[in-house]
Amino acid sequence: MKQTKTYYIETYGCQMNVYDSELVAGIMERESYLRAESVEQADIIFLNTCSVREHAEDKVHARLGVLKAQKEKKPGTIIGVLGCMAQNLRDDLLIRRPYVDVVLGPDSYRRIPDLLNERLAPQEHIVDTKLSRMEVYEGLFPARREGVGAWVSIIRGCDKFCTFCIVPFTRGRERSRTVESIVTEVQQIVAEGFKEITLLGQNVNSYLSEGVRFPELLEIVTEIEGLERVRYTSPHPQDFNDKLIAVHATHPKVCNHVHFPLQAGSDQILERMNRTYTQSHFVALAQKMRSAVPGLSITTDIIVGFPGETEADFQETLDVMNAVKFDSAFTFKYSPRAGTKAAEFKDSVPEDVKQDRLERLIEIQRQHTLEQNEAHIGEVHAVLVEKDSKKSSDQHMGRTRNNKIVVFDKGSETTGDIINVRITGAGGITLFGELA
Ligand code: SAH
Ligand code: SF4
Ligand code: F3S
């Protein structure tokens, strides 16, 4: 029977979820479900959710409230919660949100077609949050949106157990895909017309499959013909070694940008976070990378207000920022996650202190970003054209190899071209340029 049901997926959280949503879209389309243009038009609505901070969960709870009203108007709508919140809050969701039909954790997506067939003949809630030591979705191809860049998951799960972080609990143990399946997927991506890929994992440099480690995998991937740019996110500083720096320095397709999550500057806090590196190790690595890789940009993630963080500890985070001068930073107030080790620490930092530290940190980062961007003025950069700029259809926006956004007046180039642009100005986030 021809399928006429439509589905819609809303994605929250990190790029792993973006990739997983494409995977789920691929599964749905293989079963001939049609992609709906909007949530309102869909028969099946999936929210692919994130639990990393309380705020991420709050957003989904609010959204579910809206979907409940929609379901009341259109009974028969199926609402599915996927991803990390499904994993983390399964029972809570089932009790608090009885109108949610499907709850699937990140390792259960292969079961979607069967589950939906059961559900379409109305039954009980459908729940599967069993984490797997094996599942890497081998043989399933994500349905990607058009664009110039594609995500490719290479390792799932995380074994680091940073004490603040829920991810090892929602995503389970680390497991790497085979080199062969990654290469096949990238070849298909290139055949579809994508120029750039980003290799994904919570911890990409833990990658290990049949003796191949992450730096070697990068080298293998760069050999794929037609692929222009390779990015990856996120590496863990502990596993960032000289070999990986050498790959950056020698392979022009490997972009000169590293997302290098600091989290905190003081050794005492790093220790309590179980980050397994010290401030001096982190700074030395960052400096080594900068001197080995021309034009390298380094971005980071920083948490303020981790339990026990004193003003002196916080100053050390600022010290690292001043030493490394990150190109940009994602900054967060610590958010306790039930079930993690840090949630049991008693010496929590008051909300107003967290807020004050966050604001000071953001201000310093703003200056550093501007400083780093201004240093590019006068340079000519190869820019991969992504789309029209937000402000004007007479302008294009694209990205440099070191991941800066550049806006410039259009010439004869089209989306997907790599062209030379001379940088003429720098804003807070965006660079401005002209065709060179
Ligand atoms: N695997 C990646 C990041 C995963 S989560 C890494 O190791 O870098 C993305 C970011 O969210 C983290 O880098 C951290 O800065 C932040 N984060 C994670 N748990 C958090 C928490 N409980 N409170 C505040 N920020 C958190
Ligand atoms: Fe979370 Fe740490 Fe794993 Fe990153 S490395 S996902 S912060 S536990
Ligand atoms: Fe969030 Fe899960 Fe990613 S908790 S950050 S969506 S791995």
CA of 234 to the centre of ligand 2 (A): 9
Backbone angles phi, psi at 315, to 5 degrees: -55, -35
Whether ligand 2 lies within 6 angstroms of the CB of 167 is answered as yes
Q: Write down the residue that tokens 């911890």 correspond to.
A: 203
CA 336 distance to own-chain centroid: 21
Cβ–Cβ < 8 Å for 333, 434? no
Cβ–Cβ < 8 Å for 301, 261? yes
Residue 351 CB partners (closer than 8 Å, separation 6+): 333
Whether ligand 1 lies within 6 angstroms of the CB of 277 is answered as no
Give, for 284, the enclosing helix (H) or strand (E): helix 279-292
**How much is the pTM?**
0.95
Give, for 92, the enclosing helix (H) or strand (E): helix 90-96
- CATH code of the domain occupying 380-435: 2.40.50.140
Beta strand 395-400 with 380-388: parallel, antiparallel or unpaired? antiparallel
The C-alpha atoms of residue 203 and residue 234 are separated, in whole angstroms, by 6
Give, for 115, the enclosing helix (H) or strand (E): helix 112-120
Cβ–Cβ < 8 Å for 404, 376? yes
Span(s) in the chain for CATH 2.40.50.140 = 380-435
- Cis upstream peptide for 234 (omega within 30°): yes
- Output the residue whose Cα is nearest ligand 1's atom 8: 261
Tokens matching residue 246: 């050498």
Residue 310 CB partners (closer than 8 Å, separation 6+): none
Cβ–Cβ < 8 Å for 198, 154? no
Tokens matching residue 86: 């499904």
Atom number of ligand 2 nearest to Cα 159: 3
Whether ligand 1 lies within 6 angstroms of the CB of 156 is answered as no
pLDDT value of position 145 = 77
In the three-class reduction of DSSP (H, G, I as helix; E, B as strand; rest coil), residue 113 is classed as helix
Whether ligand 2 lies within 6 angstroms of the CB of 14 is answered as no
Backbone angles phi, psi at 5, to 5 degrees: -75, 145
pLDDT value of position 423 = 98
The C-alpha atoms of residue 329 and residue 365 are separated, in whole angstroms, by 7
Whether ligand 2 lies within 6 angstroms of the CB of 160 is answered as yes
pLDDT value of position 120 = 66
Cβ–Cβ < 8 Å for 187, 224? yes
pLDDT tens digits, 275-285: 999 999 999 99
Whether ligand 2 lies within 6 angstroms of the CB of 168 is answered as yes
CATH architecture for the domain at 6-128: 3-Layer(aba) Sandwich (3.40)
The C-alpha atoms of residue 220 and residue 183 are separated, in whole angstroms, by 8
Q: What would you report as the CA-atom Rg of the chain, rounded to the nearest whole angstrom?
A: 22
Q: Decide if domain 263-375 falls under CATH 3.40.50.1970.
A: no
401 secondary structure, DSSP code: T
Q: Write down the residue that tokens 């003081």 correspond to.
A: 266
Cβ–Cβ < 8 Å for 404, 431? yes
Span(s) in the chain for CATH 3.30.750.210 = 144-255
Report the topology of domain 144-255: Transcription Regulator spoIIAA (3.30.750)
CA distances (Å), origin 360, targets 309, 315, 332: 15, 10, 12
Tokens matching residue 124: 């009980």
Whether ligand 2 lies within 6 angstroms of the CB of 236 is answered as yes
Which of 47, 57, 60, 84 to mutate for ligand 3's pocket (most ligand atoms within 8 Å of CB)? 84
Full pLDDT tens readout for the chain, 436 residues: 556 899 999 999 999 999 999 999 999 999 999 999 999 999 999 999 999 999 999 999 999 999 999 999 999 899 999 999 999 999 889 889 999 999 999 999 999 988 888 766 656 788 899 999 999 998 888 998 778 999 999 999 999 999 999 999 999 999 999 999 999 999 999 999 999 999 999 999 999 999 999 999 999 999 999 999 999 999 999 999 999 999 999 999 999 999 999 999 999 999 999 999 999 999 999 999 999 999 999 999 999 999 999 999 999 999 999 999 999 999 999 999 999 999 999 999 999 999 999 999 999 999 999 999 999 999 999 999 999 999 999 999 999 999 999 999 999 999 999 999 999 999 888 999 999 9
pLDDT value of position 326 = 98
Q: What are the pocket residues of ligand 3 if the criterion is a CB atom closer than 6 Å to any ligand atom?
A: 13-14, 16-17, 50-52, 83-84, 166-167, 170-171
CA of 284 to the centre of ligand 2 (A): 21
Which of 10, 17, 55 to mutate for ligand 3's pocket (most ligand atoms within 8 Å of CB)? 17
Beta strand 212-213 with 208-209: parallel, antiparallel or unpaired? antiparallel
pLDDT value of position 171 = 97
The C-alpha atoms of residue 183 and residue 217 are separated, in whole angstroms, by 9
CA of 213 to the centre of ligand 1 (A): 24
Whether ligand 2 lies within 6 angstroms of the CB of 13 is answered as no
Span(s) in the chain for CATH 3.40.50.12160 = 6-128
CA of 207 to the centre of ligand 2 (A): 14
Atom number of ligand 2 nearest to Cα 301: 7
pLDDT value of position 146 = 76
The C-alpha atoms of residue 143 and residue 36 are separated, in whole angstroms, by 14
Ligand nearest to the CA of 263: 1
